[in-house]
Amino acid sequence: MKNFKTIAVTGGKGGTGKSTFALILAFKEIMKGKKVLLVDCDVECPNDYLLLGIDTLSNEIKSTVAYYPEFIKSKCKKCGLCVDNCNAGALFQLPGETPKLEKDLCSSCGVCWTICPHNAIQKKSEINGKIFKNVINDSLTLITGQSTPGVRETSPVVEQTRKYIDEISAAFDLIIIDTAAGSHCTVMRALENVDLAYSVTEPTPVGAHDLRVILQVLKVLDVPSKIVLNKKGQGNVNIIKEISSKENIKIDKYIPYDTQLAQIYSEGNFLDKSEYLSNLIYQYK
């Protein structure tokens, strides 16, 4: 592997083995003597800590925040400019009244408080998540971003987790970012400015469909990418090969379909079995 500093593990479809691959990759690199920072950016349901045998996340480093508009009634001239320009459709206004916010729809974009000509909108911060740090051993540290349950717009949690990583990354040789499933804002925030992204997929029609989508996202974000084929030996590998040749993105590695791996996953003891696991990634030819 070339000397990439920040690598993302993504893939589109859920359950293709993103976290599994991220952890195995970490073990492999640790065996080569590297100091690895694993970052769980699947903030709506992070689970890398479970696979590393941690029952409950407790070492909180800091909170993440979202900003919402708060109207200063004495200053508001009821002009409606903020309502007209709210791209999320989160603001509405009854005749002659100060606008109101439907908080669930607000993306914290800041257009309203930026354009208000009367300075009648102030930023109000609200905690929307937490960042945890677990030093697993001398070679492996886990950072977990976790959004507060019920928070709809979770990409700011990912953004702020990435920002925190920038502060501590100098102490590590390699940073592995484990993204959520899907291809929405939360995933994109995790993929921005990484040196390489592995798209983990499985040889099924849904795996293929979502691979196609995530490869498009990576192209738009200008992130170099490679495909990882999981569960090799099941399904139909040709549908993945077709995408690989059409998009000109190499199937770089594979993980065979392995019942023992599933067993280890279900028990959540990746750390104890790290030697067995690190031999499960093969170069695809």
Partner 1 sequence: MKVLVPLENKERESKISVAFGRAPFFAIVDTENDDIVFEKNQNTERAGGVGITTSQFAIDKKVDKVIVVNIGPKAENVLSSADIQIERVSKDKKLSELFNEKF
Instruction: Using CB under 8 A, list all residues that contact partner 1.
Output: 83, 86-95, 100, 102, 104-105
Token pair of 27, please? 């073990």
Integer CA distances (angstroms), 74 to 68, 92, 119, 141, in order: 19, 18, 11, 50
- Least distance from partner 1 to the Cβ atom of residue 93, Å: 7
177: Cβ contacts below 8 Å, ≥ 6 apart = 6, 7, 8, 9, 39, 41, 162, 165, 190, 191, 194
Q: Shortest approach of partner 1 to residue 42 CB, angstroms?
A: 22
The kind and range of the H/E element at 128 are: strand 121-135
Residue 145 vs 156, nearer CB to partner 1: 156
Q: Which is nearer to partner 1, 87 or 137 (CB)?
A: 87
CB of 259 to partner 1, least distance (A): 42
Q: Which is nearer to partner 1, 51 or 86 (CB)?
A: 86
- Cβ 163 to partner 1 shortest distance, Å: 25
Residue 90 or 228: the one with the smaller Cβ distance to partner 1 is 90
| Residue tagged 């690199």 (tokens) | 29
Tokens of 276: 């067995």
Q: Which residues contact 53 (CB under 8 A, 6 or more apart)?
A: 268, 269, 270, 271, 272
Least distance CB 112 / partner 1 (angstroms): 13
Cα angle for residues 57, 59, 60 (degrees, 5° grid): 95
- CA distances to 6, 162, 181, 259 from 215, in Å: 18, 21, 13, 29
Least distance from partner 1 to the Cβ atom of residue 100, Å: 8
The residue (of 14 and 89) whose beta carbon lies closer to partner 1 is 89
CB of 75 to partner 1, least distance (A): 22
Q: Would you say 35 or 78 has its CB closer to partner 1?
A: 78
**CB 220 → partner 1: shortest distance, Å?**
16
Contacts of 212 (CB under 8 A, 6+ apart): 243, 247
Task: Say how far apart CA 11 and CA 197 lie, in whole Å.
Answer: 9
| Residue 121 one-letter amino acid | I
Closest to partner 1 by CB, 33 vs 95, is 95
Whether 18 contacts 210, CB under 8 Å? no
Instruction: Note whether 136 and 144 are within 8 A (CB).
Output: no
Residues belonging to the chain: 285
Pick the closer one to partner 1 by CB: 93 or 269. 93
